[in-house]
Amino acid sequence: MLALKTPYLLFFGDEERQTYAKTGLGLAHWRPEDCVGQRRLTPDTADAGLPDLTIDEAAAAGARSVVLGLALVGGSLPSHWLPDLVHALELGMDVVAGFHTRLTSFPDLVTAAEKSGARLIDIRVPPENIPVGTGLKRTGKRLLTVGTDCALGKKYTALALHREMASRGIDADFRATGQTGILIAGSGIPMDAVVSDFLVGAAEMLTPDADPDHWDVIEGQGALFHPGYAPVSMGLLMGSQPDAFVLCTEAGRDTIRGWDDFPTPDIRDVIERNIAIAQQYNPDVRCVGISSNTVFLSDEERPGYLAGLEDTYGLPAVDPLKGDGVAPIVDHLQAQTWP
């Protein structure tokens, strides 16, 4: 499985738009201890609040990877970024990116990497030799985040749950299934890029046997009722064999984003289908909470909305960004007996 060398220098080039730089910004938010600094080519470039370093300064500070924390517009690296990246490779740092365009398609980078032995790492590329899923039970415990749709907080919720669990002394790992998550965790498998026959096997590989009290907190992908991405969610659900899952949703989202003919499914239907599929691999699987993105609610509306979810489903319902965050879900998890 892919494993990245920390600490990182975050490279933002001259990208000024926050949304295009969100991979790097998310990495700095969740793993400040892994980031020695950032490289910004202009004063208006996106800013993660880290020390501004040149490549030489980053090397002196111990950086072992340069992470391109931004989206590539139009498929090509701006040529004025190359000198920095080539220099980093020459100094032995890996260069890491999650572009559709492979880093190995840029001859200057390949040459520099070959010379120093540094690596060009495309985190969209899954590992080779993933096995077919076995369905066999593994030791340790697993929690998966699932959604009523995509892009509503499955990764954020998993990271927040992991942080809360770790802060309580629970032995836990965050298991990443997408690009930003993989950068944050330093390892993982990009599930959406895995060939279909090996999806379940990839999820099994991602969450291996562990101590009985260990929790893997697994970043969900897609959604079981999503017209494009449901098979990815199914493979991840089967292979991760969750003991527990947290349902992620967004208050007020009426249709699947980008698939406007499809209404957002009912929360109960999503919980029930996840249970129906997961029970084949773990009869005791249960939903332990609801994590809702309430960005479109006012501060007055939020408490009533969350209380309504708690009443309807008999589960703790939180906005992970508000109040006590996901703590009530971890309370609920800890209050239960696990086999």
Q: In angstroms, give the least distance from the CB of 197 to a second copy.
A: 4
Instruction: State yes or no: residue 2 binds a second copy (CB under 8 A).
Output: no
Q: Which stretch binds a second copy (CB under 8 A): 2-10, 84-92, 189-197, 298-306?
A: 189-197
Q: Name which of 65 and 177 has its Cβ closer to a second copy.
A: 177
Instruction: State yes or no: residue 231 binds a second copy (CB under 8 A).
Output: yes
Instruction: State yes or no: residue 194 binds a second copy (CB under 8 A).
Output: yes
Q: How far apart are CA 102 and CA 255, in angstroms?
A: 34
Neighbours of 47 (CB within 10 A): 17
Instruction: State yes or no: residue 303 binds a second copy (CB under 8 A).
Output: no
Instruction: State yes or no: residue 228 binds a second copy (CB under 8 A).
Output: yes
Buried b (16+ CB within 10 A) or exposed e, 142-166: bbbbbbbbbebbbbbbbbbbbbbbe
Tokens 């897609």 locate to: 222
The dihedral formed by the CA atoms of 261, 267, 272 and 277, expressed in degrees to the nearest 10? 60
* Residues within window 196-215 making contact with a second copy, judged by CB under 8 A: 196-197, 199-201
Q: Name which of 120 and 223 has its Cβ closer to a second copy.
A: 223
Query: What backbone torsions phi and psi does residue 146 show, to the nearest 5 degrees?
Result: -125, 165
Q: Which stretch binds a second copy (CB under 8 A): 83-91, 152-160, 228-236, 286-294?
A: 228-236
Nearest of 235, 190, 192, 240 to residue 216 by alpha carbon: 240
109-138 mask for a second copy (x: CB under 8 A)? -----------------------xxxxx--
* Residues within window 135-174 making contact with a second copy, judged by CB under 8 A: 135-136
Q: In angstroms, give the least distance from the CB of 169 to a second copy.
A: 35
* Residues within window 242-301 making contact with a second copy, judged by CB under 8 A: 259, 261-262, 273, 276, 280-281
Q: How far apart are CA 216 and CA 162, in angstroms?
A: 8
Instruction: State yes or no: residue 25 binds a second copy (CB under 8 A).
Output: no
The footprint of a second copy on this chain (CB under 8 A) covers a number of residues equal to 32
Q: In angstroms, give the least distance from the CB of 138 to a second copy.
A: 13
Instruction: State yes or no: residue 195 binds a second copy (CB under 8 A).
Output: yes
Q: Which two tokens stand for residue 326?
A: 């996901």
Burial (CB count <10 Å: 0-12, 13-18, 19+), residue 110: middle
Classified as helix, coil or strand, 3 is: strand
Neighbours of 298 (CB within 10 A): 7
Q: Please answer whether residues 157 and 145 qualify as being in contact, where contact means their C-beta atoms are separated by less than 8 angstroms.
A: yes
Q: In angstroms, give the least distance from the CB of 271 to a second copy.
A: 14
Task: Give the residues lining the site for a second copy (CB under 8 A).
Answer: 132-136, 191-197, 199-201, 225, 227-232, 234-235, 238, 259, 261-262, 273, 276, 280-281
